[in-house]
Amino acid sequence: MPNFEFIDHTADIGIIAYGNSVEEVFVNAAYGMFSLIADLEKVAELKSHEVIAEALEQDELLVTWLNELLYLFDAEGLIFSRFEIVNLRQQYLRAMAYGEKVDPSRHNLKTHIKAATYHQLKLETKNDFKARIILDL
Q: 100-137, pLDDT tens digit by residue?
A: 999 989 998 999 999 999 999 999 998 889 999 999 99
When pLDDT is averaged across residues 33-40 and rounded to a whole number, the result is 95
Report the predicted TM-score, pTM, of the whole model to 2 decimal places. 0.93
Task: Report if residue 109 sits inside a domain.
Answer: yes
Domain count, the chain: 1
Task: Report if residue 2 sits inside a domain.
Answer: no
Task: Report if residue 94 sits inside a domain.
Answer: yes
The DSSP symbol for 106 reads T
Task: Report if residue 53 sits inside a domain.
Answer: yes
Task: Report if residue 3 sits inside a domain.
Answer: no
Residue 113 CB neighbour total at 10 angstroms: 20
Residue 9 has pLDDT above 70, yes or no: no
Nearest Cα residue to 24 out of 90, 84, 89: 84
**Domain span including residue 18:** 9-136
H or E element: which one contains 82?
strand 78-88
Residue 10 has pLDDT above 80, yes or no: no
CATH number at residue 99: 3.55.10.10
Query: In this predicted structure, what is the pLDDT of residue 97?
Result: 98
Task: Report if residue 1 sits inside a domain.
Answer: no
Alpha-carbon distance values, 14 to 10, 67, 101, 125, 137 (Å) = 10, 14, 26, 19, 10
Query: In this predicted structure, what is the pLDDT of residue 3?
Result: 85
Task: Report if residue 32 sits inside a domain.
Answer: yes
Task: Report if residue 117 sits inside a domain.
Answer: yes
